[in-house]
């Protein structure tokens, strides 16, 4: 394998390592329905889509 190949593998692993903690925190907040940094932008769009499609966001979905 060339030096460029090793560099690309190391760069990829470094990027994965760097985003693991912040992405995990963000996903935990999303799954716990806590406020995230994207809420001011995406929350109005989400509410509009729920209203247009007549979906109750507080109603749990059944999988059976």
DSSP code of residue 64: -
**Whether the model pTM is above 0.75:** no
- Total H helices, total E strands in the chain: 2, 0
In a domain, 11, yes or no: yes
Mean pLDDT of the chain: 94
pLDDT greater at residue 35 or residue 58: 35
pLDDT of res. 61: 83
Query: How distant is the alpha carbon of residue 34 from its chain centre?
Result: 13
| Domains held by the chain: number | 1
pLDDT of res. 29: 96
In a domain, 20, yes or no: yes
Domain extent for 24: 3-53
Q: Residue 48 and residue 51: Cα distance in Å, rounded?
A: 5
Query: Which structure tokens are listed for 35?
Result: 């406020």
In a domain, 21, yes or no: yes
In a domain, 41, yes or no: yes
In a domain, 63, yes or no: no
DSSP code of residue 36: -
In a domain, 59, yes or no: no
Each residue's pLDDT tens digit, 25-52: 999 999 998 999 999 999 999 999 999 9
């Amino acid at each position: 394998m060339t030096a460029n190949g090793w560099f690309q593998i190391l760069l990829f692993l470094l990027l994965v390592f760097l985003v693991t903690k912040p992405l995990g925190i963000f996903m935990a907040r999303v799954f716990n329905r806590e406020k995230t940094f994207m809420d001011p932008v995406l929350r109005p769009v989400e509410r509009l889509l729920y209203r247009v499609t007549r979906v109750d966001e507080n109603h749990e979905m059944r999988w059976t």
